[in-house]
Amino acid sequence: MAPSALSLPTSVSDEKYANVKWEELGFGFCRTDNMYVAKCKHGESFQEGKIVPYADLHISPCSAVLNYGQGLYEGLKAYRTEDGRIVLFRPDQNALRLQSGANRLCMPYPTVDQFVSAVKQVVLANKKWIPPPGRGTLYIRPILFGSGPILGSLPVPEYTFTVFACPVGRYHKDNAGLNLKIEDKFRRAFPSGTGGVKSITNYSPVWITLAEAKAQGFSDVLFLDAATGKNVEELFASNVFIVKGNVVSTPEISGTILPGVTRKSVIELTGDFGYKVEERVVPVEDLLDAEEVFCTGTAAIVTTIASVTFKEKKTEFQTGDKTLAAKLFATLTDIQMGRVEDKKGWIVELTDATKPGLKL
């Protein structure tokens, strides 16, 4: 859906870039100018929302999200290409994943067109915050949650869909590769739970393990399955891949692993490179026997894993410019940054609605 009100708010400056030290940009919150808000009553469908100045949301202390954790979020990026275009990467896939999660958490949801339109509006309303080419990206965070008050049983009287954005740099800045700890006590997700959707309840319960790992000098945590404790699943916020010869394996989507958009894209690119790709159960032993290991995600992109430590034993893997991870990173970012032709149809180009050539 392409709403009629896609021109930028009058409060948005024509200045090309915000006053940001791009070379110091990390992966963290940075307040920008505008956000999108839409609301939906119980039994109704989401209608077109609006762009408003970035501000705190007013919410009932008895809201479903605060009391029962009824909420989802998505994450995607906008890129400024070297020839001056602003593009998104597969936003429809994030919309579909949000819908899947909303069904799981008993919430209404925006249509794919509404989702993508909201993302586009937020990007254009904050375009001066999109970093220069090669200096970062604009990270976009859509959130869907139960905002109405509820105490006890359903229905929730109101839902809110909001989207904000902030400029970010690399999530993992260690180009030498990550050093992971395999967590053998705590579990990230459970069968028939919410590990396969981006529920807001999936993350803080395992912050304790991530904090402990980082205090021990590790980059991140790799979690095992809850059913057996013998198979690898994913990192805190990334999918994992292993390489052995010409075979690339990644844990299959079984309800406890998030179906990452980058994961899906990497599987396709890896097949294009001539590798055999397997989505399967991956025992810890297979990981430890791999030649190369890497992780994928919107934030992580494609990041080499240099080592894992399991039960105090460290295992190292191939790193460097000749790895599959390096090739995938270069190929994926070339597509995202418009340096090569997008033959997959993954890129969605944006044009300022106040100027000729609108592509929204």
Average pLDDT over residues 202-215: 96
Structural domain containing residue 148: 22-168
Q: Per-residue confidence at 152, pLDDT binned at 50, 70, 90?
A: confident
Q: What angle do CA 331, 333, 338 make, to 5 degrees?
A: 100
Give the C-alpha separation, 269 to 155, whole Å: 44
10 pLDDT above the threshold of 60:
no
Query: Same domain, yes or no, for 163 and 211?
Result: no
pLDDT of 4 reads 35
Between 337 and 360, the higher pLDDT residue:
337
Quick one: 38 and 154 in the same domain? yes
How is the chain split among helix, strand and coil, in percent rounded to 5? Answer: 25, 30, 50
Can you give the pTM of this predicted structure? 0.92
Q: Is 351 within a domain?
A: no
Contact at 8 Å (CB) between 324 and 266?
A: no
Identify the CATH number of the domain in which residue 202 sits.
3.20.10.10
* 108 lies in the same domain as 227: no
DSSP string, 224-271: EPTTTS-BEEEESS-EEEEEETTEEEEE--SSSS---HHHHHHHHHHH
In a domain, 266, yes or no: yes
For 249-262, b where at least 16 C-beta lie within 10 A, e where not — what string? bbbeebebbbebbb
Q: Which two tokens mark 36?
A: 């999108």
Note whether 229 and 311 are same-domain residues: yes
Together in a domain, 332 and 204: yes
What are the pLDDT digits (tens) for 90-124?
A: 999 999 999 999 999 999 999 999 999 999 999 99
From 126, 149, 168, the end of a domain falls on 168
> What would the pLDDT profile of 300-311 be if each residue is shown by its tens digit?
999 999 999 999
Identify whether 241 is part of a domain. Answer: yes
198 is catalytic: yes
pLDDT band for position 153 (cuts 50, 70, 90)? confident
pLDDT grade, residue 3 (50/70/90)?
Answer: very low
* Mean of all residue pLDDT scores within the chain: 93
pLDDT at 1 over 80: no
Q: Domain for residue 331, yes or no?
A: yes
Same domain, 82 and 191: no
Stretch 5-27: mean pLDDT: 69
Whether residue 323 sits in one domain with residue 209: yes
Structure tokens at 41: 């009553």
Alpha carbons 218 and 34: distance in angstroms, whole number: 36
**pLDDT score of 213:** 97
Q: Say if residue 221 is in the same domain as residue 289.
A: yes
* % of the chain surpassing 90 pLDDT: 89
Q: What residues pair up with 242 in beta bridges, in sequence order?
A: 249, 293
Distance CA 55, CA 70 (A): 21
pLDDT at residue 76, as a whole number:
98
Q: Are residues 158 and 201 in the same domain?
A: no
Do 118 and 7 form a contact (C-beta atoms < 8 A)?
no
Residue 287 maps to a domain: yes
| Statement: residue 83 has pLDDT above 50 | yes
Residue carrying structure tokens 């198979």? 231
The per-residue pLDDT for 175 is: 74
Distance CA 267, CA 126 (A): 32
- Summarize pLDDT for 154-189 with one digit per residue, the tens: 999 999 999 999 999 988 877 789 999 999 999 999
CA distance 229 to 58: 42
- pLDDT reading at 193 higher than 90: yes
Per-residue model confidence (pLDDT) at position 15 = 61
| Tokens (6 digits) for 52 | 């408003």
Residue 173: predicted pLDDT: 78
Residue whose entry in the numeric block shows the structure tokens 């052995």: 244
What is the residue type of 100?
S
Q: What are the strands, taking DSSP E only, across the chain?
A: 34-41, 50-53, 71-73, 76-80, 86-89, 137-146, 158-168, 178-183, 220-224, 232-235, 239-244, 247-251, 276-280, 292-297, 301-310, 313-316, 347-350
DSSP 118-153: HHHHHHHHTGGGSPPTTS-EEEEEEEEEE-SB-SSS
Q: Which two tokens stand for residue 297?
A: 């995600």
Q: Is the pLDDT of residue 216 over 70?
A: yes
Report yes or no on 17 lying in a domain.
no
pLDDT tens profile 275-289: 999 999 999 999 999
The verdict on 50 and 146 lying in the same domain is: yes
For 111, residues 6+ apart whose C-beta sits below 8 A from its C-beta are 1, 46, 95
Look at residue 331 and tell me whether its pLDDT is greater than 80: yes
Q: Would you state the pLDDT for residue 11?
A: 39
Q: Do 191 and 158 sit in the same domain of this protein?
A: no
Considering the domain boundaries, does residue 161 fall inside one? yes
Instruction: Report how many domains make up the chain.
Output: 2
Residue 351 confidence (pLDDT): 72
Q: Which pLDDT score, from 0 to 100, does residue 352 have?
A: 62
- The answer to whether position 127 is within a domain reads yes
Same domain, 124 and 158: yes
More confident position, 352 or 318: 318
Catalytic pick among 39, 198, 313, 355: 198
Q: CATH code at 160? A: 3.30.470.10
**pLDDT confidence of residue 6:** 43
